Copies of this chain bind each other. A is one copy, B any other.
């Protein structure tokens, strides 16, 4: 899996004193940047090849400011038109959240989903993870 180190921000805390639960999807998306760059290196709006169909997050432990969070990602499924990214967030050697995001290949010009291009599939294959341990402990 590919690691992204995230330094929690004070603006990401909420009144309960820990990181707000709406922040995890932001961190997970940020950790997927490596995938966006592989598929569309310019990161230009022009030709952006993906839409998002689904996200989910399971919260296991609270996250805090004051120590880094590592978000690990890998691809758990490569479909005909879509792929699924699996994420784990770790802080202080504990798994604090897991989640998934489903991206679909999309042609913004015709406003329709398209088959995954073969070169995209080749770029994504090395990120495939065999087995995902999604238990909540």
> A66 — nearest CB in chain B belongs to which residue?
B43
Q: Are B59 and A36 in contact (CB under 8 A)?
A: no
A65's contact among B13, B15, B51, B66, by CB below 8 Å, is which? Answer: B15
The segment from A18-26, A74-82, A124-132 found at the interface with B is: A18-26
Chain B residues near A36: list those with CB within 8 A: 10
Bound Cα distance A52, B43 (Å): 23
A117 at the interface (CB under 8 A from B): no
> A19 — nearest CB in chain B belongs to which residue?
B15
What 0/1 pattern do residues 1 to 34 of A give for CB contact below 8 A with B? 0000001011101111110111001100110010
A14's contact among B10, B53, B56, B59, by CB below 8 Å, is which? Answer: B10
Q: Are A51 and B45 in contact (CB under 8 A)?
A: no
Chain B residues near A18: list those with CB within 8 A: 15
A11's contact among B9, B26, B58, B59, by CB below 8 Å, is which? Answer: B26
A116 at the interface (CB under 8 A from B): no
> B-contacting residues of A (Cβ < 8 Å)?
7, 9-11, 13-18, 20-22, 25-26, 29-30, 33, 36, 42-43, 45, 48, 51-59, 62, 65-66, 108
